[in-house]
């Protein structure tokens, strides 16, 4: 029996979708445990590209069951659109999708408050999907959960109470027009009819499945440095993408976890605001963005691009307990004559001993680089490790040594077959 967690080791978009799709061939169940439709997980099969936001990336394998855990915040419209898109592509989700009754719902006022906040001085460059405001209500114990959809009277009461409060804020603080209670109640009742069949007591379902010997892959969204507790706060998301979040977000106890797999991009990207010590600017950054096709899978925003940061990945390894790593997008670096790797951070000439997550400190750090030769050849068709040029192998062994991890998989292109297993 195996229960493995997949975590993003940087600032998200490491290629989790592709790797979950590959690994899910060997798992019975794939579970999303946090985040919401802020995630965009891409899976490319042949010439077809699927971008998943809420449904686990295991859905593209016929015999895999997919579960949305209690830690996820669900936007009804995004979920229904995604189900429709999959069905239109001939992918049957019947009997293969379960949604936790304890997951919280994104409400229209969450998206509105998210976008209003993005026009203030506390802007952080969110995806605008209502994630922060929804988790605020969850922790304020005012949130509306999937289970509330099952009782019309409860749902109406909760929506009314919430909207009364939100309308007050919208009017008095933001001078914004109020929301209509009835429209929202009707929209969510309609949603309930469509998703009723998927609603499940997920912790019981998963624990029974484990007792029956089923294997489970837990799919994190975002990445370690976007973690609300361990990331570059306040420039983070509002959940725990780190491995600890997999247990609280699914109902699987920590004693059942058998391994933690880190997804590590061969360079670094970040979307939105916040510190990024190894960021490349000007032509250098534009070129990497262009070659790596680094544009957001959810918002289409250009991603900020930079050199590999081994100091950061080492921190991520520690926080998550990562044992094995899948390196992605190695092929993207093939155009470079020389490749820089950050091995430490300095402030005022002194090397830091541990990773800083305080933003003011992060803004002052200077990356310490080592430079490695590039391989300058196309590696996107390599099927075996031995087919890689020696400079590419040297790069891999350098980053794995500096990052303190072992590599078990290398991805050299977006497709399933462009994967080297070690
Ligand atoms: P996720 O959020 O971690 O699932 O990553 P995204 O899907 O947002 O972004 C990763 C992007 O890189 C997607 O467009 C993938 O199709 C693509 N991709 C994944 N692995 C590779 C790879 O090894 N090489 C290249 N060139 N592209 C890749
Ligand atoms: P996947 O799962 C990259 C970033 C946003 C912003 C910050 C907060 O595809 O890797 P939010 O909307 O969550 O309140 O935004 O987090 N962000 C991501 N960046 N990949 C993601 O998901 C992200 N989800 C959120 O850009 O900086
Ligand atoms: Mg993404």
Q: Which residue has the tokens 């605008």?
A: 128
Lowest mean pLDDT among 180-194, 269-283, 319-333: 180-194
The rounded distance, in Å, linking the Cα atoms of 79 and 106 is 11
Ligand nearest to the CA of 37: 2
* Ligand 2 binding pocket, CB closer than 6 Å: 8, 11-13, 38-41, 124-127, 129, 131-132, 221-223, 226, 237-238, 271-272, 297
Positions of E strands within 122-267 = 199-200, 216-219, 259-265
At the topology level of CATH, where does 104-194 sit? Adenylosuccinate Synthetase, subunit A; domain 2 (1.10.300)
Residue 38's nearest CA partner among 303, 299, 301, 302 is 299
Q: Write the burial class of residue 136 (CB in 10 Å: 0-12 exposed, 13-18 middle, 19+ buried).
A: middle
- Residue 250: per-residue pLDDT: 98
DSSP letter, residue 179: P
Ligand nearest to the CA of 224: 2
The rounded distance, in Å, linking the Cα atoms of 344 and 351 is 7
Residue ranges per domain, the chain? 3-100+198-261, 104-194, 264-421
The rounded distance, in Å, linking the Cα atoms of 125 and 273 is 5
The rounded distance, in Å, linking the Cα atoms of 106 and 123 is 20
DSSP letter, residue 365: -
Note the pTM of the prediction, 2 decimals: 0.97
pLDDT in tens, 280-323: 999 999 999 999 999 998 889 999 999 999 999 999 999 999 99
Active-site residue set: 13, 41
Is the Cβ–Cβ distance between 135 and 239 less than 8 Å? yes
Is the Cβ–Cβ distance between 1 and 215 less than 8 Å? yes
What token pair was written down for 262? 């880190």
Q: What is the CATH number of domain 3-100+198-261?
A: 3.40.440.10
- Residues lining ion ligand 3 (Cβ < 5 A) are 13, 40, 297
Q: Give CA angle at 312 (385, 413), nearest 5°.
A: 35
pLDDT of 156 strictly over 90: yes
Task: Pick from 18, 217, 417 the residue to mutate for probing ligand 1's pocket: most ligand atoms within 8 Å of its CB.
Answer: 18
The gap between the terminal CA atoms of the chain, to the nearest Å, is: 22
CA of 143 to the centre of ligand 1 (A): 33
pLDDT of 99 strictly over 80: yes
The rounded distance, in Å, linking the Cα atoms of 152 and 158 is 10
What residue's CA is closest to ligand 2, atom 5?
126
Give the CATH H-level superfamily of domain 264-421.
Adenylosuccinate Synthetase, subunit A, domain 3 (3.90.170.10)
CA of 180 to the centre of ligand 1 (A): 40
Does this chain's domain 3-100+198-261 share its CATH topology with 264-421? no
The rounded mean pLDDT for the chain is: 97
CA of 168 to the centre of ligand 1 (A): 42
> Which atom belonging to ligand 2 lies closest to the Cα atom of 35?
13
pLDDT band at 147 (very low <50, low <70, confident <90, very high): very high
The rounded distance, in Å, linking the Cα atoms of 355 and 230 is 10
Percent of the chain with pLDDT over 90: 98
Residue 318's DSSP bridge partners are none
pLDDT in tens, 375-387: 999 999 999 999 9
pLDDT in tens, 191-242: 999 999 999 999 999 999 999 999 999 999 999 999 999 999 999 999 999 9
**All residues at 6 or more sequence positions from 373 whose CB lies less than 8 Å from its CB, including other chains:** 337, 338, 339, 391, 394
User: Do the strands 406-411 and 419-421 form a parallel or antiparallel pair, or are they unpaired?
Assistant: antiparallel
CA of 12 to the centre of ligand 3 (A): 6
Averaged pLDDT, 361-389 = 98
How many other CB atoms are there within 10 angstroms of residue 229's CB atom?
A: 13
The rounded distance, in Å, linking the Cα atoms of 26 and 261 is 14
Residue 270's DSSP bridge partners are 304
- Residue 1: per-residue pLDDT: 58
Task: Pick from 13, 237, 292 the residue to mutate for probing ligand 2's pocket: most ligand atoms within 8 Å of its CB.
Answer: 237
Residue 316's nearest CA partner among 24, 32, 14, 21 is 14
CA of 271 to the centre of ligand 2 (A): 7
> Which atom belonging to ligand 2 lies closest to the Cα atom of 220?
2
């Amino acid at each position: 029996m195996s229960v493995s967690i997949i975590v993003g080791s940087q600032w998200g978009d490491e290629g989790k979708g592709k790797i979950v799709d590959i690994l899910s061939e060997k798992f019975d169940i794939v579970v999303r445990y946090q985040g919401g439709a802020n995630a965009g997980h891409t899976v490319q099969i042949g010439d077809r590209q699927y971008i998943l936001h809420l449904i686990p990336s295991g859905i593209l394998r016929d015999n895999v069951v997919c579960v949305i855990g209690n830690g996820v915040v669900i936007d009804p419209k995004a979920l229904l659109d995604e189900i429709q898109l999959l069905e239109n592509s001939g992918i049957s989700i019947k009997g293969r999708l379960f949604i936790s009754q304890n997951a919280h719902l994104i409400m229209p006022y969450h998206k509105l408050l998210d976008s209003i906040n993005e026009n203030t001085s506390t802007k952080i460059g969110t995806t605008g999907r209502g994630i922060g405001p929804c988790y605020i209500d969850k922790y304020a114990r005012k949130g509306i959960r999937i289970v509330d959809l099952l009782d019309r009277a409860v749902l109406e009461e909760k929506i009314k109470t919430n909207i009364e409060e939100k309308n007050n804020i919208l009017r008095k603080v933001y001078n914004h027009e109020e929301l209509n209670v009835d429209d929202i109640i009707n929209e969510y009742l309609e949603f309930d009819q469509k998703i009723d069949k998927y609603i499940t007591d997920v912790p019981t379902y998963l624990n029974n499945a484990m007792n029956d010997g089923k294997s489970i892959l837990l799919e994190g969204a975002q990445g370690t440095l976007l973690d609300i507790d361990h990331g570059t706060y306040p420039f983070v998301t509002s959940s725990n993408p780190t491995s600890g979040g997999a247990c609280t977000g699914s109902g699987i106890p920590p004693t059942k976890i058998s391994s933690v797999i880190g997804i590590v991009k061969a360079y670094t990207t970040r979307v939105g605001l916040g510190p990024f010590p190894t960021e490349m600017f000007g032509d250098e950054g534009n070129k990497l963005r262009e070659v790596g096709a680094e544009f957001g899978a959810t918002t289409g925003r250009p991603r900020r691009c930079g050199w590999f940061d081994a100091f950061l990945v080492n921190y991520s390894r520690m926080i998550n307990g990562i044992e094995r790593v899948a390196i992605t997008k190695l092929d993207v670096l093939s155009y470079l004559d020389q490749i820089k790797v950050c091995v430490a951070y300095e402030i005022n000439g002194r090397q830091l001993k541990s990773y800083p997550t305080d933003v003011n400190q992060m803004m002052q750090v200077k990356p310490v680089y080592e430079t490695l030769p590039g391989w300058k050849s196309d590696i996107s068709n390599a099927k075996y490790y031995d087919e890689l040029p020696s400079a590419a192998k040297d790069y891999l062994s350098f980053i794995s040594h500096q990052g303190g991890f072992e590599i078990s998989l290398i991805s050299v292109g977006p497709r399933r077959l462009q994967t080297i297993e070690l």
